[in-house]
Amino acid sequence: MIDFHTHTPTWRTTSWLGGVTFGADEFVAFMDSAGIDQAVVLSHDGLFDATPETNDDLAAFVGQYPYRLAGFGTVHPRRADAPEEVDRMLNGLGLRGLKLHPWLQGFSMHEPALDPICDVLAQSGGILLSHDGTPPYSTGGQIAALARRHPSLPVVLGHAGLHDTWRESLALTIETPNLYICICGTPPYAAREILSRAPSHKVLFGTDAGLSDRKSQDYAVARVAEIDGWGITDAQRRAMLVDNPRALLAGR
C-alpha cells in the first residue's frame, strides 16, 4: 500500500504522532503497524514558514528511508525565488514534488506567479499536490484551471473535495487529463461514488497521518480498514493503493 497523503515535521523540531514526538524511525514503525509500504510525506511546518530550511529538513527526514518515504516540499508562490527553490528541491534535494495549501499559505490558485513554478515542476518530472475542499480558497475548479494551463504536469487534488466539494472534484478529475484525485478525509459515501465514476487510473488514497493531535496511528489504521466497507472490487482497491500511486511516482 502507498499512502499518498501523510505529514511530518521538520526532523530537527518536534511534533506529535499518537501523543509522542517522532522521527523517521518512529514514522516508519507507525507505517509498518498500519500496513503502509510507502508514504508521500508532505511539508507541514513549511506551510507556515516556507523557507529553504524547511525543505532541507524534510529532505533529511525522508532521506533516512529513501525506499519508503517520498517528500513533497513547499514554497510560497509570491516569493521571487520560488521557481529556483522548486528546482533545488527536486534536482538538488531529491524531493519528488510540491505541496501547496492556498488557504493556509494565503494565495489564490489563479495567481500568475504559479505558472513559472509549474513550468519548473513539469520540466523536472515533479508532481503538484494541492489542498482542496475548502471554499473559497481551495476548490477543485481553481486547481483544475491551473492543471489545464500545464497539461504535462500531474496535479493531485489532495482531499478529493472533502465533505462539501467532492462532486466538483470528481467531475473535474473526469474531464481534466492530468488531474488526479486523492481520497483523504473524504466521507465513505463520496469515496464509493468517486471510485465508481472516476477514471480507474487516477484515484489515490491518503490517511493524513502525522498531522492531527489525535493518535495518528489509530486514525490511519481505521482509515485503511474503512476501505473494506466501501463495497469496491479487488481491482479498484489495488489500483488505488498500489498501481496508481506507483505509476505516478515512477514518472519522476
Identify the DSSP state of 110: T
3-state secondary structure of 107: coil
Q: Residue 219 pLDDT more than 80?
A: no
174 burial level (CB within 10 Å; 0-12, 13-18, 19+): middle
CB 35 within 8 A of CB 217: no
- Residue 222 — very low, low, confident or very high, per pLDDT cuts 50/70/90? confident
3-state secondary structure of 36: coil
Q: What was the pLDDT predicted at 7? A: 86
Query: Rounded distance, CA 116 to CA 147, Å?
Result: 13
118-139 pLDDT tens trace: 999 999 999 999 999 999 889 9
32 burial level (CB within 10 Å; 0-12, 13-18, 19+): exposed
Q: What was the pLDDT predicted at 213? A: 46
Place of cell 511530518: 8
Q: Residue 247 pLDDT more than 60?
A: yes
Q: What was the pLDDT predicted at 24? A: 87
Q: Which three cell numbers stand for residue 54?
A: 524547511
Nearest one of 164, 157, 192, 210 to 34, comparing CA atoms: 210
62-97 pLDDT tens trace: 999 999 999 999 999 999 999 999 999 999 999 999
237: left (phi > 0), else alpha (psi -120 to 50), else beta?
alpha
Identify the DSSP state of 230: G
Global pTM exceeds 0.85: yes
Q: Residue 216 pLDDT more than 70?
A: no
Query: Rounded distance, CA 50 to CA 136, Å?
Result: 22
